[in-house]
Amino acid sequence: MAVALTVRAVHVPLKKVLPKSTRNNNLNYRRKKMMPIVSSFPIRTEQNVNNRKLPILLFDIMDTVVRDPFYHDVAPFFGMSFKELIESKHPTAWIEFEEGRVDEMELAGKFFKDKRSFDLEGQ
């Protein structure tokens, strides 16, 4: 099945403040206020060649619904302050791990600048 994607971003201003007298009579203000916070793209398949647009809604849930362990758990695991951890860790190792460019074993080998070993399983 072949899929062609065209991504379209929608710019949504955070807040546009107009004087009350202008706000109620300004049609452009009303249109901008009702603009959806989604993007859409056409889906093309061999069976379905129409330009159906499907909405995309993205949520940033890190440190709201999901807690990032790096900021809360990693430094106490090593028995150091967060500042000490930042000073002693490799500058890009954690980011490479989060992005999937290195696996856990590679992370363990290069996590600290001085290449010290540690209990990867945390036991």
Domain boundaries in the chain?
4-56, 59-123
Q: Compare 48 and 53 and report the one with higher pLDDT.
A: 53
110 within 8 A of 93, measured Cβ to Cβ: yes
Taking the model in full, what pTM does it have? 0.46
Q: What is the mean pLDDT of the chain?
A: 73
Place of tokens 């009350």: 20
pLDDT tier, 34 (very low <50, low <70, confident <90, very high otherwise): very low
Q: What is the mean pLDDT of residues 18-45?
A: 51
pLDDT in tens, 51-98: 778 888 888 887 788 888 888 888 998 899 999 999 999 999 989 998
